[in-house]
């Protein structure tokens, strides 16, 4: 898995999703959910997903000052943060995602645009000329990084966190008692419907996510793919501790189905 969420080279798509891909054959146009083709799918789905946003915003309210939104995507969290009246820097590796966020800001009130700064950059290694009251990494995006990438992330965050500030990040534990494959159907505000397949067995490094349109005709079919590492909260807390941080609180987030158990970590730098 790369830092932009592309599936690991050689990744085999298992389960029903793999069967559907085989049935489509050459008609399947597979793309990363973060590239120029897949980002539109990701954006549509993210607009339907308000999971963790309220909890993150409530924590950010407690720490006045500028906010750094890492792996900002198309602005799922950036826009609510701007609505708080904060200065927000949105850092994102995918140019396609930044273009989508820029389009949203172009349609937003002038006051929001003036408080926003868009940065194309890698969350595992960035240098900005500013300190932040809060650094936020939502949507379990820490799972896109390997161990070396996470060490780089922690070092970069520590260098940019203002005294007394907080690093807020989310992660997901998966219930091993559930079936290996889960399917969810999403309808979006754009009027499209998608089938999302997630596959993970205990012992696997990452879960694979495959998204198909719910209905398709005889032509090409665009299929979104990504791999997402499984990083239990205990593992992240241990890594953060060795990187000069202390977890001050764990906040259990509302469940999204029986399979996922999401946790929001509230973290401060140690002396």
pLDDT in tens, 135-162: 999 988 999 899 999 999 999 999 999 9
Distance, CA of 39 to CA of 169 (rounded, Å): 22
Tokens describing residue 140: 């379990």
Looking only at the bridges linking them, the beta strands covering 206-213 and 221-229 are: antiparallel
pLDDT in tens, 43-59: 776 665 567 899 999 99
pLDDT in tens, 75-118: 999 999 999 999 999 999 999 889 999 999 999 999 999 999 99
Residues 6+ apart with CB under 8 A from 159: 127
- Average pLDDT of the chain? 89
Distance, CA of 52 to CA of 136 (rounded, Å): 12
pLDDT in tens, 210-242: 999 999 888 999 999 988 898 999 999 999 999
* 167 — pLDDT class (breaks 50, 70, 90): very high
For the chain, helix, strand, coil in percent to 5 are: 30, 35, 35
Selection from 42, 41, 30 nearest residue 76 by Cα: 42
* 70 — pLDDT class (breaks 50, 70, 90): very high
Stronger pLDDT, 230 or 124, i.e. the higher one: 124
User: What pLDDT is attached to residue 111?
Assistant: 92
* 6 — pLDDT class (breaks 50, 70, 90): very low
pLDDT in tens, 7-36: 444 567 889 999 999 999 999 999 888 787
Helix (H), strand (E) at residue 29: strand 28-32
User: What pLDDT is attached to residue 162?
Assistant: 97
Phi, psi of 115 (to 5 degrees): -95, 0
Stronger pLDDT, 248 or 187, i.e. the higher one: 248
Q: Kindly provide the residue ranges of all beta strands, DSSP E only, lying in 42-180, ordered along the sequence.
A: 67-70, 88-92, 116-120, 132-137, 161-174
């Amino acid at each position: 898995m790369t830092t932009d969420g592309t599936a690991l080279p050689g990744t085999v798509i298992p389960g029903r999703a793999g069967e559907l891909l085989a049935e489509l054959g050459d008609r399947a146009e597979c793309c990363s959910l973060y590239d120029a083709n897949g980002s539109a799918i990701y954006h549509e789905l993210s607009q339907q997903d308000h999971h963790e946003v309220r909890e993150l915003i409530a924590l950010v309210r407690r720490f006045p000052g500028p906010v750094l939104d890492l792996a900002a995507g198309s602005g799922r969290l950036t826009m609510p943060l701007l609505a708080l009246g904060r200065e927000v820097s949105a850092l994102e590796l995918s140019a396609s995602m930044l273009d989508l966020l820029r389009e949203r800001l172009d349609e937003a009130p002038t006051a929001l645009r003036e408080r926003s700064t868009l940065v194309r950059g890698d969350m595992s290694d960035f240098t900005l000329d500013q300190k932040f009251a809060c650094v936020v990494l939502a949507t379990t995006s820490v799972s896109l990084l390997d161990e070396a990438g996470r060490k780089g992330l922690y070092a970069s965050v520590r260098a940019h966190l203002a005294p007394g500030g907080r690093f807020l990040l989310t992660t997901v534990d998966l219930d091993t008692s559930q079936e290996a494959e889960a399917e969810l159907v999403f309808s979006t505000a754009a009027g499209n419907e998608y089938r999302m397949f997630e596959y993970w067995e205990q012992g696997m490094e990452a879960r694979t996510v495959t998204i198909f349109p719910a209905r398709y005709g005889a032509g090409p079919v665009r299929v979104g793919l990504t791999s997402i590492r499984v990083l239990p909260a205990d593992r992240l807390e241990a890594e953060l501790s060795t990187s000069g941080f202390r977890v001050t609180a764990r906040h259990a987030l509302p469940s999204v189905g029986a399979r996922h158990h999401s946790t929001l970590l509230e973290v401060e730098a140690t002396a």
